[in-house]
Structure 1
Amino acid sequence: MIPRILSLFCASTLMFSTSCHDSASKQNSTEPNFDGFVKVSLESHITGVQPMTGIVLWADNDKRNTDAISLEYSYMQYKDIVKEKGVYDWTPLEKVLDGIASRKHQAIIRFWYTYPGFDSAVPQYIRELPDYEETVALSEGKKTGFPDWRNPELQRFHKEFYQKFAERYDNDPRLAFLQTGFGLWAEYHIYDGPCIMGQTFPSKEFQAEFFKLMSETFKYTPWSVSIDAASPDYTPLEADPSLKNLKFGLFDDSFMHETHDEYNGKNWKFFGENRYQTSPAGGEFGYYTKYDQEHVLDYPDGIHGRNFEGESKRFHITYMIGNNQPSYQTMARIKQASMLCGYRYEITDVRVKEDSTCVQIKNTGVAPIYRDAYVAVNGVRSESSLIDLQPGESRWVGIPAGATDMTITIECDHLVPGQKIEYEAHVKGE
């Protein structure tokens, strides 16, 4: 009896896998064998901003409780988490993450050491060491603390911090993306103030160690650095291409300013125009002028001969911080702009029989999703993830479940309560 059950199971599995196998359009253009399948109707609409995409407001913005966004941003200070060596109190971060999740949003987090007008965010126990000598100088006309990167304990702590962070948060659905870096605002520059390599800014040797550590430590969370890390004056990435080839995303903190193509555009190209296929492209609307902030989301004109409709597609933008946009745009326009970002799924064909379903799905967005997501029928998932389904690509996925009254969903374990991934569908059955 047992061998017969096993043989029937194996035969059923073989029939399913050969009749409706998962295939990417660029890799396999052959339509699956639909013997015994019936094409069925499916109608669905995308009505909201998709998780882990869109315009981003700061977590303390008065307008943050809205469905026009799915992401919120927060700076954090290292010294708020660690006050004594080896003692980590994540309470400040927990409060931020819980608050954001309570609004059915997810977080983008960036820790900093140097912020114009503030003391450094180096933990106090390090600042009190006899061999630690902090620099205090003006930046943007404000008294500012700069870390002492010569200090061995600061270097050790910095690497340990991200190891501890990953242990706790690497697969936490409250966290969408992590940004990291050095210099002013952790944006990989000290454009105003004392920039001394190996002292107020970490040495290239230490940075190389840190890039490798981040790559080895974070298995799930997409982490990103500023496009300013392209500069050979600050980083080792140009001298060591193996570092540039590690898997990390990018953020552009002055997106769409007037001369964006002259500097920012070159930095994007330095990192490779296909980097978005595996790691997110994001940033913040530029603050170079008030005009830019006031009009960057104007439609259809935009600013400087470009609009966000075109630039989000050109740079494959998944998210963009626009904290001041509620002062200049309606929430309806912000929601519209949010829905230009990231992935967007359309189901274009559905075939079903008693125990199997074949679904053709296309990514009509500007970027892939960066977490595993699966087409599911009545809660039964396809084997293959949509994580590598690129913009413009379509794929047949097979699900070992079928019924005339089935419900098709896109499931992802990296969502907070209240979030869901939607899809478009206008399929006419036989």
Structure 2
Amino acid sequence: MQICRPLLHGFITAALLTVASASQAEAAKRPRVADYVPVPLHASIDRVQPMTGIVLWNDNTSGLAALGEDVQLEFAYFKYSDVVTDSGVYDWSRVDAALASSAGRGHQMILRFHDTYPGHTKVSIPAQVAGAPDHALSYHNIEGQRTFVPDWRSATLQAFILEFYSRFAQRYDRDSRLGFVQVGFGSYAEYHLWDGPLKLGTTFPSKAFQQQFLAHLGNTFVKTPWSLSIDAASATYTPFSAVSALRQLQFGLFDDSFMHETHSQSNQEYNRASWLFFGSTRYSHSPAGGEFNYYSDYDQKHVLAPNGPWGRSFESFAAQYHISYMIGNDQPGYQPRWRIREASMATGYRFRITALSSNGDCVRLTVRNEGVAPIYYDAWPAADGQRMSTSLKGLLPGAERTAEACIGPHARAALQVSIESDRLVPGQRIQFNASLP
């Protein structure tokens, strides 16, 4: 039997209408996903944030006691021989003790190991390295003082240095008590041998070994940011000018003569030029820090004065260089606690939650960094204790990042928001600002 075309069209149309009606009925049975509704949130940052601020030395117990939570980082120097005994055994007890004391105060540590310290004649490297057949004990006048200087011709010494940082990273790279590591050679491990007999490959590591060492660090530290002195910009001391690819390594910088009289008066000034040599955006992945200069007692006394020692405030320098931390061990003797807190809060990251909404099951929020630098460890927004999958690590100043998590049914009015990180020690908390009606 042949069905006429108009009748066939009618059958098809009716069938389609039946299917559509069934689909609509089925959809009506399914629960409707609620719209996101803004959630009020009010919070304020009223303390120095973890891993930022003015830093005191770990042995400055009186200053640390006086400042309390207004300090979040402590600093300590070590010799390599403080860890490796005469018999070559690694004994980390001194490092562990420093980390434990710092964490006990609710702080992280910045650590630096040195091979040469002007005026120190005690051998800074393990006895079995110093006494190796290819290593000659030597002492030189550095900054007018008799000083032990390692013999960098020694292959034994070079192998030890590489092994040391491998062992260090294996033990501490994921340790929440460790904030940052500073590394280097020469005087104070600040990548120079000022007023001393510079002979590459003898009193200072050869450029070839430095290149090997830097690449090794880049492969060794996975979680902990490591930094070099800005003096590493020197074409005389280091291989960075000749091997530009080394600047692609992700390391931070520290400036041990911060805010001296002519600091940053032009792009050609030594400190400023050294910062720029390594790139003006390095702070985006690695921390910028340093130490207030000791060029004069006047500088130390006035670095945190409203206009600084030479007409510019610390806050303006912190913003210019995206500073996360600055060693200022003498500042408790010059400045009141409130001023040190104020200056510290002008460094590092500063989060603001600019939007928060919920549909009763899922939560969505947006975070802006209103600080001068990113946070260099993972930090996750959390709702009612459940972390969102988006980390705030590397969120640049002025930038925003949105995160979302479905945490299950919850009351909007009772929603608890926080920022969590596995790199914190007990007593620390990442705060945020919020003013959401």
The match for 2:71 among 52, 69, 72 is 69
Q: Does 1:134 align with 2:148?
A: no
Q: Does 1:54 align with 2:62?
A: no
Greater mean deviation of Cα atoms: 332-341 or 77-86: 77-86
Q: Which secondary structure does the structure 1 equivalent of 2:170 belong to?
A: helix
Q: Which secondary structure does the structure 1 equivalent of 2:210 belong to?
A: helix
Counterpart residue type for residue 181 of structure 2:
L
The match for 1:114 among 109, 113, 116 is 116
Cα deviation for residue 140 of structure 1 reads: 2.3
Contact 1:74/1:109 (<8 A) preserved: yes
Give the structure 2 partner of residue 197 of structure 1.
200
Cα deviation for residue 130 of structure 1 reads: 2.9
Contact 2:392/2:401 (<8 A) preserved: no
Structure 1: distance between partners of 2:59 and 2:86: 28
Cα deviation for residue 295 of structure 1 reads: 0.2
Structure 2: distance between partners of 1:291 and 1:232: 32
Give the structure 2 partner of residue 105 of structure 1.
107
Contact 2:129/2:160 (<8 A) preserved: no
Spell out the pairing of 1:19-30 with structure 2 (5 A cutoff).
Answer: none
Deviating beyond 3 angstroms after TM superposition, the runs of 4 or more aligned structure 1 residues are none
Contact 2:88/2:126 (<8 A) preserved: no
Cα deviation for residue 135 of structure 1 reads: 2.1
Q: Which secondary structure does the structure 1 equivalent of 2:209 belong to?
A: helix
Contact 1:57/1:323 (<8 A) preserved: yes
Gaps of 5+ in 1: 1-18, 20-34
Counterpart residue type for residue 193 of structure 1:
G
Give the structure 1 partner of residue 14 of structure 2.
none
Q: Which secondary structure does the structure 1 equivalent of 2:56 belong to?
A: strand
Q: Does 1:294 align with 2:287?
A: no
Cα deviation for residue 86 of structure 1 reads: 4.8
Structure 1: distance between partners of 2:235 and 2:144: 27
Cα deviation for residue 335 of structure 1 reads: 0.8
Contact 2:88/2:128 (<8 A) preserved: no
Gaps of 5+ in 2: 1-32
Structure 1: distance between partners of 2:157 and 2:402: 51
Counterpart residue type for residue 140 of structure 2:
A
Structure 2: distance between partners of 1:321 and 1:379: 34
Contact 2:229/2:254 (<8 A) preserved: yes
Structure 2: distance between partners of 1:60 and 1:388: 31
Give the structure 2 partner of residue 214 of structure 1.
217
Cα deviation for residue 194 of structure 1 reads: 1.5
Structure 1: distance between partners of 2:175 and 2:197: 37
Cα deviation for residue 134 of structure 1 reads: 2.5
Give the structure 2 partner of residue 88 of structure 1.
90
Give the structure 1 partner of residue 332 of structure 2.
326
Greater mean deviation of Cα atoms: 129-138 or 403-412: 129-138
Using the size of structure 1 for normalisation, the TM-score is 0.90
Residues 34-70 of structure 1: CA deviation (Å, up to 9, x unaligned): x701111101111111000000000111211312110
Contact 2:130/2:136 (<8 A) preserved: yes
Q: Does 1:366 align with 2:372?
A: yes
Structure 2: distance between partners of 1:264 and 1:274: 16
Contact 2:134/2:155 (<8 A) preserved: no
The match for 1:335 among 336, 341, 353 is 341
Greater mean deviation of Cα atoms: 75-84 or 311-320: 75-84
Greater mean deviation of Cα atoms: 376-385 or 215-224: 376-385
The match for 2:388 among 382, 385, 406 is 382
Structure 2: distance between partners of 1:172 and 1:60: 21
Q: Which secondary structure does the structure 2 equivalent of 1:67 belong to?
A: helix
Structure 2: distance between partners of 1:139 and 1:395: 50
Q: Does 1:317 align with 2:320?
A: no
Give the structure 2 partner of residue 304 of structure 1.
310
Residues 345-386 of structure 1: CA deviation (Å, up to 9, x unaligned): 011111111111111110000000000000000111111110
Cα deviation for residue 84 of structure 1 reads: 4.1
Structure 2: distance between partners of 1:38 and 1:155: 61
Structure 1: distance between partners of 2:332 and 2:137: 39
Give the structure 2 partner of residue 145 of structure 1.
148
Counterpart residue type for residue 403 of structure 1:
A
Q: Which secondary structure does the structure 2 equivalent of 1:181 belong to?
A: coil
Q: Which secondary structure does the structure 2 equivalent of 1:173 belong to?
A: coil
Give the structure 2 partner of residue 31 of structure 1.
none
Kindly indicate which of the two structures has a greater share of residues assigned to helix: 2
Contact 2:119/2:145 (<8 A) preserved: yes
Structure 1: distance between partners of 2:262 and 2:112: 26
Counterpart residue type for residue 293 of structure 2:
G
Give the structure 1 partner of residue 275 of structure 2.
268
Contact 1:276/1:367 (<8 A) preserved: yes
Cα deviation for residue 85 of structure 1 reads: 5.8
Contact 2:252/2:282 (<8 A) preserved: yes
Cα deviation for residue 138 of structure 1 reads: 1.6
Cα deviation for residue 224 of structure 1 reads: 0.2
Q: Does 1:168 align with 2:171?
A: yes
Residues 83-127 of structure 1: CA deviation (Å, up to 9, x unaligned): 246521000100000001110011000000111111231111111
Counterpart residue type for residue 208 of structure 1:
Q
Give the structure 2 partner of residue 403 of structure 1.
411
Q: Does 1:229 align with 2:229?
A: no
Q: If you compute each CA radius of gyration, which structure gives the higher value, 1 or 2? A: 2
CA RMSD of aligned residues (A): 1.3
Structure 1: distance between partners of 2:38 and 2:273: 48
Q: Which secondary structure does the structure 1 equivalent of 2:35 belong to?
A: coil
State the number of aligned residues: 395
The match for 1:281 among 278, 288, 304 is 288
Structure 2: distance between partners of 1:280 and 1:131: 37
Higher relative contact order (CA 8 A, sep 6+): 1
Using the size of structure 2 for normalisation, the TM-score is 0.89
Structure 1: distance between partners of 2:208 and 2:178: 29
The match for 1:420 among 426, 429, 437 is 429
Q: Which secondary structure does the structure 2 equivalent of 1:354 belong to?
A: coil
